[in-house]
Amino acid sequence: MTDLVARARPFALLVLTGAGLVGGLILTLVGRPDAAAWVWAVPAVVVGIRLAWSIVRDLIAGKAGVDVIAVLAIAGALALRELFAASVIAVMLATGEALESYAEGRAHRELTALLGRAPNDVRRYRDGELDVCPIGEVRVGDRLLVRPGEVVPVDGVVRGDPAVLDESALTGESRLVNREEGDTVSSGVVNAGGPFDLQAIATADASTYAGIVRLVEEAGQAKAPFVRLADRYALYFVPLTLGMAGLAWILSGDPTRALAVLVVATPCPLLLAAPIAIVAGISRAARRGVIVKGGGPLEALARARVLLFDKTGTLTAGRPHLATVEAPDGDPDEVLRLAAALEQASPHVLAAAIVHAARRRDLTLSLPVDVVETPGGGVAGTVEGRAVAVGSAGFVAGEDGLPTWARELRRRAVMEGSSNVFVRIDGRIAGALILDDPIRPETPRAVRSLRRAGFARIIMVTGDHHAVAELVGAAIGLDGVLADRAPADKVDAVRTERDIAGGPLVMVGDGINDAPALAVADVGVAMGARGATASSEAADIVITVDRLDRLAEAVRIARHSRSIAVQSVIAGMGMSLVAMVLAAFGFLPVVAGALLQEAIDVAVILNALRALRGGTERPIIVPGWADTGGRLMTEHRTLAPGIARLRVVADHLDTMGPAEARDALVGVRSFLVETLVPHEEEEDREVYPLLASAIGTDDATAALHRTHTEIFHLVRLFGRIVDEIGTDGPTIDDRTDVQRALYGLDAIVRLHMAQEEELYASIDPDVSAELTLRAA
């Protein structure tokens, strides 16, 4: 209520002064000049007293205000009996204050919205009944009811009926998401479906949204260095104005010249335009899921030219992903099913990835029994009456050692930076699971966008081995790779690169081990969607959505906002100084000066509000992409096991018997002809035209279309080779031709999928979804 009154006060003052100005004019026209003088004078006195009290409060607080110019202007107009001018000055000042209030409200709108959404009460189950209690009383394990349209109060797990959620407040993306029984839900999202039960896994203070609210509160407290510099210059503006006014009076002998200088003098470009532009940038970044902790980090981000990235969880997905299932003598799906069934009993991070991959393939997982886990080795137990062991090579193979195919696989995994988990079934090594940490689909585009935004040097600093780090760095086009770095080494790397750069440096990370480097950097950026609290607390900027390309957006917003702030100050103060000179020489009367002063204020504030839009790259917008893109990515994941099978068959073809080899090749051909080719044809026929239309040219999709042509050619070639294989199986020459075709298909299909996923990731799902909703 207090905030509402405070926001309404400037507009009430504008109504009062405006009514006084208009009322005085009417009284003058009807021949009541004395009454008109009082009607003009009273609002001017009210405004003058209010400004004088503001000056006193500033002085008590140890701050020097520039409102003294406005007070002197009103007092001078009243003293010189320029009552109409005094009324006009009062109206102009009230208009400026109202405009400032409006502009600050616009600039703070997204930040205020985040703070205002925090719930105060919850509905909690107690003894079979539902009661309402303050959110601060919620404890871990409490079961809550979240009604339609309500904000999820604490982090929790869905219980009972599934939930349909709007996560746009946290992610900036307007797509609705479904959360099933057992799925984790972050506080701050909105229930967009029916009521559902939530079991709390954190208290309100420890939940996601509370952390974001704390970050937002910090964002509004610190001034940018440029804004602090503007404040200092505004103080110099007071003696400059008084000196110019006094000089004009002395040289001309006309006190109205001094009054005209005071009236036209405005420090508004310094005091209002700069902070409004900076805060508008902070607010705009918040709308895209990037919380900037104040104007200082925003300005430093705008000036930075060197960028350091951590690897895991920043440039890469940060969680293991099952890439391949190798089963030379069996069914890969069966090997995965038994391994995942056993891994259900393990808390290991790789176990979760294996179970997740099996469920994505709709494999039925039985509950294991007699489970024994060896730390650092693996887990063993019984699944459906079969003895299963999953773990490292030493744990699974024991004293027998690994077979030849397994040794080759392990060597290849080490070279490629992947993890390998072996599977033993009934005493025999039946297969292996290859897991990797894939590069984020949006990472290459984000790096290119950051270069276009002005970063001259982009480096990766990671604790991973040099070979793995070099592979990732080369894949995304970085300028340098610093590998095998402990947390203390990362701090040293930040300091060294900053000394070389000679300017602000940005460090991006997501884990606890990144926190020291984030704290030392000029701008620390935490990928806070899953990152540790320590990194989020140490960082100056927190990206709350799990997308690296939002960093490039934040950089462009920061540079756009700072550019507008500088532009507003230079142009506004230039116009103000010119007007003061004109007034001092008598070319600008008092009333005209007041109107010009207000025009300058309005111009610079409206210009500052331009920071709320523009400055970013034009997004690729495809109506309906929120659904289409999700479907295509799901299809890619479905195709992954079949694509991985190409290389597995090629690797083991020489060790297969004739009948086994023919069956394997027929199975691969079936996958290619019946699954892969129809998928690629559909993309060529339906998806690529949509993308070409959205981009404005078919240049981007032409290369992908050419790759399709090559894939179709290799599939036809492979099919002809398989058709020519007799019942006795492939000959030595056949095997060579088949392996050549399979290796070629494996390489080109993997590259093609990566290119497509990078392009798909560049499409803005938020805007595309919004356009689809509008069309509906």
Active-site annotation, residues: 310
For residue 732, the Cα-to-chain-centroid distance in whole angstroms is 54
Longest dimension (CA), the chain: 118
CA distance 524 to 498: 13
The structure tokens listed for 607 are 């210009």
DSSP β-bridge partners for residue 571: none
- Give the chain's end-to-end CA distance (angstroms, integer): 38
Nearest-CA neighbor of 594 among 247, 90, 40, 82?
A: 90
Helices first, then strands: H and E counts in the chain? 29, 22
State which H helix or E strand residue 482 sits in: strand 480-482
Classify residue 61 by its DSSP letter. Answer: T
Report the candidate in 296, 132, 104, 325 with the shortest Cα–Cα distance to residue 218.
296
Exposed/middle/buried for 59, CB within 10 Å: 0-12, 13-18, 19+? exposed
SS3 state of residue 174? coil
252 CB-contact burial (10 Å; exposed 0-12 / middle 13-18 / buried 19+): middle
Strand partners, 391: 378, 422
Tell me phi and psi for residue 252, to 5 degrees. -95, -20
- The answer to whether 442 and 548 are in contact (CB under 8 A) is yes
Q: What number of residues does the chain have?
A: 776
Backbone angles phi, psi at 545, to 5 degrees: -110, 145
Cα separation, 288 vs 555, in Å, equals 12
* Residue the block writes with tokens 């950089």: 555
Name residues whose C-beta falls within 8 Å of residue 556's C-beta, 6 or more positions apart in sequence.
Answer: 453, 615, 616, 617
Provide the strand spans (E) within 135-274: 143-146, 156-159, 163-166, 176-179, 184-185, 190-191, 196-200
Q: How far is CA 544 from CA 209, 211, 721, in A?
A: 10, 10, 52
* Radius of gyration, CA atoms only, the chain: 34
Q: Are strands 129-134 and 121-126 parallel, antiparallel or unpaired?
A: antiparallel
Q: For residue 75, which amino acid is it? A: A
- The span from the CA of 196 to the CA of 661, in Å, is 53
Letter string b/e over residues 532-559, b meaning 16 or more CB atoms within 10 A of that residue's CB: bebbbbbbbbbbbbbbbbbbbbbbbbbb
403's tokens: 């077979």
- Whether the Cβ atoms of residue 644 and residue 745 lie closer than 8 Å to each other: no
Question: Smallest Cα–Cα separation from 753: which of 620, 596, 646?
Answer: 646
Find the helix or strand (DSSP H, E) in which 682 lies: helix 677-682
Q: Under a CB-based contact definition with an 8 Å cutoff, are residues 37 and 18 in contact?
A: no
Helix (H) or strand (E) holding 326, with range, is strand 321-326
Order of strands, sheet of 190-191, starting from the edge strand that comes earlier in the sequence = 176-179, 163-166, 190-191
Measured CA distances, 665 to 8, 307, 420, 605, 654 (Å): 77, 48, 25, 70, 12
Work out whether the CA dihedral 106, 107, 110, 114 comes out positive or negative.
negative
